[in-house]
Structure 1
Amino acid sequence: MSVVCVIPARYASTRYPGKPLALLRGATGEARSLIERSWRAACEVSGFDAIHVATDDDRIAEAARAFGASVLMTSSDARNGTERCAEALAQLGEGVEMVVNLQGDAPLTPPWFLEALIAGLRADSQAALATPILRCDGETLAALKADRAAGRVGGTTAVVDSAMRGLYFSKEVIPYTSSPYAAEAPTPVFHHVGVYAYRPWALHAYPDWPVGPLETLEGLEQLRFLEAGHAVRCVEVEARGRKFWELNNPEDIPRIEAMLAQMGLP
Structure 2
Amino acid sequence: MSVLIVIPARYASTRYPAKPLVPLTGATGEKKTLIQRSWEAAMAVSGADRVVVATDDDRIREAAEAFGAEVVMTSESCQNGTERCAEAYANLGETHEIVVNLQGDAPLTPAWFIEDLVAGLRANPWAELATPVLRCEGAMLEALKEDRRNDRVGGTTAVFGAGNRGLYFSKEVIPFTAERHAPEAPTPVFHHVGVYAYRPETLSQYPGWPVGPLEQLEGLEQLRFLENGRAVLCAEVEARGRQFWELNNPSDVARIEAMMAEMGLA
Structure 1 residue 38 and structure 2 residue 47: aligned? no
Structure 1 residue 115 and structure 2 residue 105: aligned? no
Q: Secondary structure at the match of 2:115?
A: helix
| Partner deviation per Cα, 1:60-96 (whole Å, 9 max, x = no partner) | 0000000000000000010000000000110222421
| Structure-1 residue corresponding to 2:56 | 56
Q: Secondary structure at the match of 1:221?
A: coil
- Superposition pairs of residues 1-266 of structure 1, within 5 angstroms: 1-266=1-266
What one-letter code is carried by the residue in structure 2 that aligns with 1:262? E
Root mean square deviation of aligned Cα:
0.6
Distance 2:32 2:94 in 1: 34
What one-letter code is carried by the residue in structure 1 that aligns with 2:230? H
Distance 1:147 1:88 in 2: 33
What one-letter code is carried by the residue in structure 1 that aligns with 2:142? A
Q: Secondary structure at the match of 1:6?
A: strand
Distance 2:63 2:93 in 1: 26
- Deviation of 1:99 after TM superposition, in Å, equals 0.4
Q: Secondary structure at the match of 2:38?
A: helix
Q: Secondary structure at the match of 2:215?
A: helix
Q: Secondary structure at the match of 1:163?
A: helix
Distance 1:67 1:95 in 2: 26
| Partner deviation per Cα, 1:225-257 (whole Å, 9 max, x = no partner) | 000000000100000000000000000000000
What one-letter code is carried by the residue in structure 1 that aligns with 2:77? D
Distance 2:94 2:80 in 1: 23
Distance 2:138 2:12 in 1: 34
What one-letter code is carried by the residue in structure 2 that aligns with 1:60? I
What one-letter code is carried by the residue in structure 1 that aligns with 2:263? M
Q: Secondary structure at the match of 2:173?
A: coil
Structure 1: 4+ residue segments shifted above 4 A = none
- Number of aligned residue pairs: 266
- Deviation of 1:124 after TM superposition, in Å, equals 1.1
TM-score of the superposed pair, with normalisation by structure 1: 0.99
Give identity over the alignment, percent. 72
Distance 1:236 1:38 in 2: 21
Gaps of 5+ in 1: none
Distance 1:113 1:197 in 2: 11
What one-letter code is carried by the residue in structure 1 that aligns with 2:154? G
Distance 1:4 1:124 in 2: 19
Distance 1:7 1:201 in 2: 19
- Deviation of 1:126 after TM superposition, in Å, equals 1.4
- Deviation of 1:103 after TM superposition, in Å, equals 0.1
Distance 1:9 1:202 in 2: 21
Q: Secondary structure at the match of 1:126?
A: coil
Q: Secondary structure at the match of 1:100?
A: strand
What one-letter code is carried by the residue in structure 2 that aligns with 1:245? W
What one-letter code is carried by the residue in structure 2 that aligns with 1:15? R
Gaps of 5+ in 2: none
